[in-house]
Amino acid sequence: MHPKIKVLIVDDSALVRQALTEILSSDARIEVMAAAPDPFVAAEKIRTCVPDVITLDVEMPRMDGLTFLQKIMSQHPIPVVMCSTLTGAGSESALKALEYGAVDIIVKPKLGTRQFIEESRVSICDTVRAAAMTKGRIRPVHRREISPKLTADVIIEKPSSKAMIQTTEKVVVVGASTGGTEALKLFLEMLPEDAPGTVIVQHMPEHFTAAFARRLDGLCRVSVKEAADNDSVVRGRVLIAPGNHHVLLKRSGARYYTEIKEGPLVSRHRPSVDVLFRSAARYAGKNAVGVIMTGMGDDGARGMKEMFDAGAITLAQDEASCVVYGMPHEAVKLGGVHKIMPLQDIAAEVLRCCC
């Protein structure tokens, strides 16, 4: 038996502290060691017992979450998951926190339908467990299913056995999760302005993906935007799946475009990398290059194997450069990866494959 993951919740809202405590305590692998209304109380609790993971609110009295995060990272690095609202300002601040060293983002829990509450529980618990794995990556986390785990079958049919005839135009599909925001930043900054059209799934809550895309658009030579229904996938453009929606790569004649779909969680995620990769296998075949990056779990592994079988070129980030070597490892184990490589080499390899 592995020791439980000790979590410290820091949020000025008593209702949020209570909701997070109930959600995290529902996972047998997680223990809420304490909850604090502000960073000063949190600091006292850390002196008594160092948690494995901290969930940290962005906006709090006496000291804001970003300032406290910077102090944690400079004095006593601990995996931190930011707990933010869906507001524009909140999402921008949460993305700033990723630059300061936060592992991931979760949305503040709120009342809703039974399905919403269950999906939030799955996402929050998975995110905290993934964060714990970043602390040296010293032990595997064995999954206990707490909800039915659906495959891409619920969104899109499997590709036919006949791979599409190769053309001169290539498209790139990328999947990432924990640690992916900075991995994608490095990858996209290395692409030229005429890079092949690219579609990305980064596990991230709704509304945060738009802010993430704007941030990348200001840093990269390629154009980056949150994907919308019927967006053309063309050279020089990168489309990021909107949070809480699946994205599919579709084709009409010689034109590739995106389709945005609702639907259940697939491989415990929405958007799901498996859904994107399956659509690439089905509609692009040999014209596609697939990349799977850092992240916990196995989302994207089956889809990458389908791409591999359809004749696509498939690449995986190596263990040394991953924050969490979960998704790439699962894809490698399924035999769906042509090449495993360091993050800093992936962009050049993608461009070489698309020549």
* 276 and 177 within one domain: yes
Active-site residues, by number, are 177, 203, 299
CATH classification of the domain holding 159? 3.40.50.180
**180 domain-assigned:** yes
**189 domain-assigned:** yes
**170 domain-assigned:** yes
Integer Cα distance of 114 and 327 in angstroms = 29
**141 domain-assigned:** no
- Taking 60 as the threshold, does the pLDDT of residue 140 lie above it? no
- Least trusted range by pLDDT, from 140-154, 214-228, 329-343: 140-154
Q: Is 313 helix (H, G, I), strand (E, B) or coil?
A: strand
**Per-residue pLDDT tens digits for 253-291:** 889 999 999 999 999 999 999 999 999 999 999 999 999
Integer Cα distance of 273 and 212 in angstroms = 17
* 331 and 245 within one domain: yes
CA distances 16 to 117, 139, 256, Å, are: 13, 30, 43
pLDDT tier at 62, thresholds 50, 70, 90: confident
**Mean model confidence pLDDT for the chain:** 89
3-state helix, strand, coil in the chain (%, to 5): 35, 20, 40
pLDDT of residue 87: 65
pLDDT of residue 82: 93
Distance of CA 29 to the CA centre of its chain: 21
CA distances 56 to 25, 26, 106, 125, 191, Å, are: 17, 19, 10, 15, 34
Q: Give the range of the structural domain holding residue 298, as residue numbers without chain letter.
A: 155-353
* 111 and 171 within one domain: no
Integer Cα distance of 121 and 126 in angstroms = 8
Integer Cα distance of 70 and 108 in angstroms = 21
pLDDT tier at 144, thresholds 50, 70, 90: very low
* 218 and 169 within one domain: yes
* 335 and 197 within one domain: yes
pLDDT tier at 138, thresholds 50, 70, 90: very low
**150 domain-assigned:** no
- Taking 80 as the threshold, does the pLDDT of residue 147 lie above it? no
**339 domain-assigned:** yes
Per the listing, tokens 């070489």 go with 352
* 67 and 165 within one domain: no
* 166 and 81 within one domain: no
- Taking 60 as the threshold, does the pLDDT of residue 166 lie above it? no
Structural domain count, the chain: 2
Instruction: Name the token pair of 231.
Output: 């967006």
* 299 and 176 within one domain: yes
Q: Is 151 helix (H, G, I), strand (E, B) or coil?
A: coil
* 182 and 62 within one domain: no
Q: What is the mean pLDDT of residues 57-82?
A: 89
For the chain, give the percent of residues with pLDDT over 70. 88
Identify residue 101 by its one-letter amino acid code: G
**Exposed/middle/buried for 111, CB within 10 Å: 0-12, 13-18, 19+?**
exposed
**257 domain-assigned:** yes
Cα angle, residue 78 at apex, residues 136 and 133 outer, rounded to 5°:
35
**142 domain-assigned:** no
